[in-house]
Amino acid sequence: MPSSTNTKQRILVAGGAGFVGSRLVPELMTAGHEVTVVDLLWFGNHLGKDVNVIIRDVMDLRTEDLKGYDQVIFLAGLSNDPMANLAPALNYVHNVAAAAHLAHAAKAAGVKRYIYAESCAVYGYTDNSLSTEEDGTVCFYPYGISKLCGGLAVSSLADKNFSVIRLRMGTVCGYSPRMRFDLLVNTLYKTAMMEGKVTVNNPEIWRPVLAIEDAAHAYIQAVEAPEGISGTYNVGSDNYTVGNVAEVVVDHLKARHGKTVELVINKVPDVRNYRVSTEKAKRELMFAPTGSIETILAGLDLHVGPSFPFEEDRFYNIRVFKKLLGA
């Protein structure tokens, strides 16, 4: 087995000021790695003052800018369906072209590993069986297509000197200094707190949920994985139906906040329904998730709580993005 890369790595994190990056970057630094973030700061900068942040579009980076880095992590782009549907062409530029351009420049600069933030959204609508990385992907919506094409583009560059790891993440939920309330558990927590009511559009739909602490752990495992490793890996804390997540949120609000929350169930069809197997990541990356809906809610209680300004636009990607496009 080739040696593991758990020595100090010089890492460039594209999109590192976002929701996932704002949790991951401090953890990478705590693990002893040297990190630089390049980010357009669409949602501001919530990283510590000790983090070197370059405000720049990934598309403007050149091979010279990548020299001296050991690894590059791509967390940039449009990160959900509403943004991708609003601006499909821009979605393909930021999720596919930017990812491919950065990987190509990184390889030319002698970077050894490229880690791409893919999404389980690529699996589309399945028959509820556990999807593995070998199974087909059926996505016909701009976000899913772009995440799949971005992954295919970057993995085409993999060879014995350039490792490419695609982390196919479930819906990431939990607390980040750059907070989002447009993600499954976070959204239900917010509406339960604010309205005393949660609405579930389709309780039978399956989703892999990835607690944000497990997301950070997955990236660190990928950074520190043996040198020869390349591949695609599903990462999730566990699979849940949306109805099950809502029930846990309702129970949590009652038990921890003494609040009775009404559960409204609708039957709206969804284009996405998938459960994923994370066995490959557990076996090859030593990914060991510990998160659950309960740990996500406990994290939200700790950092957010009932008096949080939930409705500010900055917590919703689509609202910020509409303003950016308008500008």
Ligand X SMILES: NC(=O)c1ccc[n+]([C@@H]2O[C@H](COP(=O)([O-])OP(=O)(O)OC[C@H]3O[C@@H](n4cnc5c(N)ncnc54)[C@H](O)[C@@H]3O)[C@@H](O)[C@H]2O)c1
Q: How many CB atoms lie within 10 A of CB 98?
A: 22
The CB-side HSE value for 223 (13 A sphere, CA atoms) comes to: 30
Size of the site for ligand X (CB under 6 A): 30
18, 142, 174, 289: residue in contact with ligand X (rule CB under 6 A) = 18
| Closer of 98 and 225 to ligand X (Cβ) | 98
CB of 301 to ligand X, least distance (A): 20
Q: Contact between 119 and ligand X (CB under 6 A)?
A: yes
CB of 46 to ligand X, least distance (A): 10
9, 28, 36, 39: residue in contact with ligand X (rule CB under 6 A) = 39
Q: Contact between 172 and ligand X (CB under 6 A)?
A: yes
Return the residue matching tokens 């090859």: 284
- Which window, 63-71, 169-177, 277-285, 300-308, contacts ligand X (CB under 6 A)? 169-177
Q: Contact between 275 and ligand X (CB under 6 A)?
A: no
Three-state secondary structure string covering the chain:
CCCECCCCCEEEEECCCCHHHHHHHHHHHHCCCEEEEECCCCCCCCCCCCCEEECCCHHHCCHHHHCCCCEEEECCCCCCHHHHHHCHHHHHHHHHHHHHHHHHHHHHCCCCEEEEEEEHHHHCEEEEEEECCCCCCCCCCHHHHHHHHHHHHHHCCCECCEEEEEEEECEEECCCCCCCCCCHHHHHHHHHHHHCEEEECCCCCEEEEEEHHHHHHHHHHHHCCECCCCEEEEECCEEEEHHHHHHHHHHHHHHHHCCCCEEEECCCCCCCEEEECCHHHHHHCCCCCCCCHHHHHHHHHHHCCCCCCCCCHHHCHHHHHHHHHHC
CB of 90 to ligand X, least distance (A): 9
CB of 182 to ligand X, least distance (A): 9
Q: Contact between 186 and ligand X (CB under 6 A)?
A: no
User: Of 241-260, which residues contact ligand X (CB under 6 A)?
Assistant: none
User: Of 70-109, which residues contact ligand X (CB under 6 A)?
Assistant: 75-77, 79, 94, 98
Q: Contact between 43 and ligand X (CB under 6 A)?
A: yes
CB of 2 to ligand X, least distance (A): 27
Q: Contact between 21 and ligand X (CB under 6 A)?
A: yes
Name the residue with the smallest CB distance to ligand X: 18
Euclidean distance between CA atoms 57 and 98, whole angstroms:
9
∠ Cα 239 92 211 (to 5°): 25
9, 25, 42, 293: residue in contact with ligand X (rule CB under 6 A) = 42
Mutual orientation of helices 242-257 and 184-195 as an angle, nearest 10°?
40
Q: Contact between 213 and ligand X (CB under 6 A)?
A: no
Q: Contact between 317 and ligand X (CB under 6 A)?
A: yes
| Closer of 75 and 261 to ligand X (Cβ) | 75
Euclidean distance between CA atoms 280 and 225, whole angstroms:
13
Q: Contact between 34 and ligand X (CB under 6 A)?
A: no
- Which window, 1-9, 19-27, 284-292, 302-310, contacts ligand X (CB under 6 A)? 19-27
Q: Contact between 17 and ligand X (CB under 6 A)?
A: yes
CB of 318 to ligand X, least distance (A): 10
| Closer of 65 and 261 to ligand X (Cβ) | 65
Residues at the site binding ligand X, with contacts judged by CB under 6 A: 14-15, 17-21, 38-43, 57-59, 75-77, 79, 94, 98, 117, 119, 169, 171-172, 178, 183, 317
